[in-house]
Every structure is written in C-alpha cells, then in structure tokens.
Amino acid sequence: MANIRDIAKRSGYSASTVSRFINHSGYVSDTAQEEIQQVIDEFDYVPNAIARDLSTGKRGPSVLWFRIQDTPSSLSCFMESWIPLLPKDITCSF
C-alpha cells in the first residue's frame, strides 16, 4: 500500500507538497497538482483515515452499540452501570 512518501518519491515533489495537495491545505502549483494526481491514480492511493487521525491528534465521532433485551429491568441495569462511566460529551439515545 502506497503512502505519501511513495507518492512524493515517484512524483518528484516533497512529501509536504503531496500532503498539501491531498489535504487541500496550502498552495500547490497547477503543474504539481496534475503530476501528483497522476501518481496517485497510478498507485490507486487512498488516504488512510486512521493514520491521519494519529498524526493530527484529532479523531471523528465514535459509535458504541449495545444490544439490550426489551425488558425494563435490563435497560435500567444498563443505565445504572454503564452510562455514568461514559465521557460527558457522549449522547445516549434509546
């Protein structure tokens, strides 16, 4: 699987230029854009979201699914035991 360094080496541009092109962050000349895109197409490159999250320290929303039996006691037990442990910014819906 190709990474930004592979794209940079093959295209002749720096990894930072390739990164700016992929992330649409900063100036990349029209010529560089075309050449980098050709290499991306050649390698069938797809950015790795997990690697991006690790490198930026950011992450998208996470989802937890719990299957609960349809009895009031099981729902009550779930709410009493798990919900207080969840971070404050998590929304619960039933």
**Residues 35-44: tens digit of each pLDDT:** 999 999 999 9
Judged against a pLDDT cut of 70, whether residue 83 lies above it is answered with no
**How many domains, in total, are found in the chain?**
1
What pLDDT is stored for residue 50 in this prediction?
Answer: 73
> What percent of the chain stands above pLDDT 70?
60
Query: What whole-number distance in Å separates Cα of residue 10 and Cα of residue 39?
Result: 7
Judged against a pLDDT cut of 70, whether residue 66 lies above it is answered with no
Judged against a pLDDT cut of 60, whether residue 49 lies above it is answered with yes
CATH number for the domain spanning 21: value is 1.10.260.40
What's the domain range around 52? Answer: 4-56
Instruction: Answer whether residue 18 is part of any domain.
Output: yes
Query: What whole-number distance in Å separates Cα of residue 24 and Cα of residue 32?
Result: 13
Instruction: Answer whether residue 70 is part of any domain.
Output: no
Task: Give the pLDDT mean for 8-31.
Answer: 95
Residue 17: Cβ within 10 Å count: 21
Judged against a pLDDT cut of 70, whether residue 20 lies above it is answered with yes
What pLDDT is stored for residue 36 in this prediction?
Answer: 97
Instruction: Answer whether residue 21 is part of any domain.
Output: yes
Pairs from 60-63 (Cβ < 8 Å, separation ≥ 24): none
Instruction: Answer whether residue 8 is part of any domain.
Output: yes
Residue 69: Cβ within 10 Å count: 10
